[in-house]
Amino acid sequence: MSGSRLRSLLEAYSTPVLLSSILSLVVVVVWMNASGVLAQTVTDALIRVVLVVGLYIFVGNSGVLAFGHIAFTMIGAYATAWLTLSTFKKSFALQLPAILAEHQYPVFPSAIAASSLAAVVALIVGIPIMRLSGISAAIATLAVLGMFHTFYNNWGPWTMGAATLPGVPLYVDMWVALGWVVFAIFVAFIYQRSRYGLALRATREDEFGARAAGISIPRQRLIAFVISAFFMGLGGVLQAHFLGSIAVKNFWLSLTFISLAMLIIGGQRSLTGAVVGASVISAITEVLRLVENGIEVGGTTISLPPGSQELGIALVMLLVLIFRPSGITGGRELRLRLSRRARGA
């Protein structure tokens, strides 16, 4: 491969390369210097990045808000539990069909299968819903979340109902999470650059213009919806194998709200915005949590009253929205320009 070919390739993919490098650097620094507690925090934040990138694939490119994506996260989390729990634990807690109950499947194929299940569900519910416009589609996805949430909450034999399902094998650490984040970032970027991503971004800018240009809006939205659901499901899988237990109540409005807020605060119209939003909000949450627990400054311990973490994060969000309504990145991508004129000419 010639130098200029390599350079133009690197330039074209500079956004995912830079984003992945920065996150990798953070992971390496934390791995070399810090305590296990910080590593846990970083892992948690990386899982959030997967979720917000998943959300971005649909919301960012289509401009349609979706309130139901956490349903796919829940589907992914429970599906991986059905596959990977030990047969002893399955027989103890759940009543599954033989093919699940009598086997314990390896984690990697299970992660793919569980995320794919989320994507398949998205395909089925998406076919009718993606014909709807804007706010109706958003509410329809919320109705889907409401249905799954209520159903899983009462589906004792498969989910233990409202109780916490324990014993999910722990294997997600900082490095595993980083690997999946890099995968998500690259897929999101490749999609966004593809003919499908371009067509969908055109529908976001002007629906009439897009239709006159031969673009089928329901079809393009459906493609993004399915890919997006895969990564939402993957986020659920990672969370299950990070925390070791899952509960239906955790896949509801507050997770919906926080992931949407991360995306919008980062800047919903760019992949960089999704990654920045998830990272920044996670970081601020962690700092506030530390301060709430008390930190030492010049010999005296400063601490904030309990509950100030959530109040602080809500306040930060409100301030960003008020002063920078298009998000921290303003919809721009992080990019590397190796030559003065990148394209064209």
Q: Residue 250 carries which DSSP code?
A: G
Q: Which is nearer to another protein, 25 or 319 (CB)?
A: 319
Per-residue binding string, another protein, 144-163, x by CB under 8 A, is x-xx--xx-xx---------
Q: Which is nearer to another protein, 113 or 284 (CB)?
A: 284
- Write the Ramachandran bin of 85: left for phi over 0, alpha for psi from -120 to 50, otherwise beta: beta
Under rule CB under 8 A, residue 315 binds another protein: yes
Q: What is the nearest approach in angstroms of another protein to the Cβ of residue 216?
A: 5
Q: Which is nearer to another protein, 235 or 327 (CB)?
A: 327
Q: Which is nearer to another protein, 155 or 175 (CB)?
A: 155
Q: What is the nearest approach in angstroms of another protein to the Cβ of residue 338?
A: 15
Contact 48, 238 (CB under 8 A): no
Under rule CB under 8 A, residue 3 binds another protein: no
**Lookup result for tokens 């590397």:** 336
The pair of three-digit structure tokens given for residue 184, joined into one six-digit string: 């998500």
Under rule CB under 8 A, residue 221 binds another protein: no
H or E element, residue 296: strand 295-297
β strands within the chain, DSSP E: 295-297, 300-302
Q: Residue 216 carries which DSSP code?
A: -
Helix, strand, coil percentages (3-state) for the chain, rounded to 5, are: 75, 0, 25
Under rule CB under 8 A, residue 343 binds another protein: yes
Residues within window 172-211 making contact with another protein, judged by CB under 8 A: 193-195, 198-199, 201-202, 204-206, 208-211
Burial of 289 (0-12, 13-18, 19+ CB in 10 A): middle
Q: Which is nearer to another protein, 65 or 278 (CB)?
A: 65
Q: Which is nearer to another protein, 320 or 334 (CB)?
A: 320
Under rule CB under 8 A, residue 164 binds another protein: no
Q: Which is nearer to another protein, 118 or 265 (CB)?
A: 265
Q: What is the nearest approach in angstroms of another protein to the Cβ of residue 10?
A: 18
Number of residues this chain uses to bind another protein (CB under 8 A): 68
**Lookup result for tokens 């398949």:** 120
Under rule CB under 8 A, residue 305 binds another protein: yes
d(CA 294, CA 306): 11
The pair of three-digit structure tokens given for residue 197, joined into one six-digit string: 């991503």
d(CA 130, CA 123): 10
For 234, half-sphere exposure in the C-beta direction (CA atoms, 13 angstrom radius) is: 31
Q: What is the nearest approach in angstroms of another protein to the Cβ of residue 212?
A: 5
Residues within window 82-121 making contact with another protein, judged by CB under 8 A: none
Under rule CB under 8 A, residue 304 binds another protein: no
| Residue 295, strand partner residues | 302
Q: In the chain, what is the greatest distance between 2 CA atoms, to the nearest angstrom?
A: 68
For 44, half-sphere exposure in the C-beta direction (CA atoms, 13 angstrom radius) is: 14
| Candidate list 10, 318, 336, 338; residue touching another protein; CB under 8 A | 318
Q: Which is nearer to another protein, 156 or 294 (CB)?
A: 156
Cα of first residue to Cα of last residue in the chain, in angstroms, is 22
Q: Return residues touching another protein (CB under 8 A).
A: 65, 128-129, 131-133, 135-136, 139-140, 142-144, 146-147, 150-151, 153-154, 193-195, 198-199, 201-202, 204-206, 208-217, 253-254, 257, 260-261, 264-265, 268-269, 305-308, 310-311, 313-315, 317-318, 321-322, 325-326, 331, 342-345
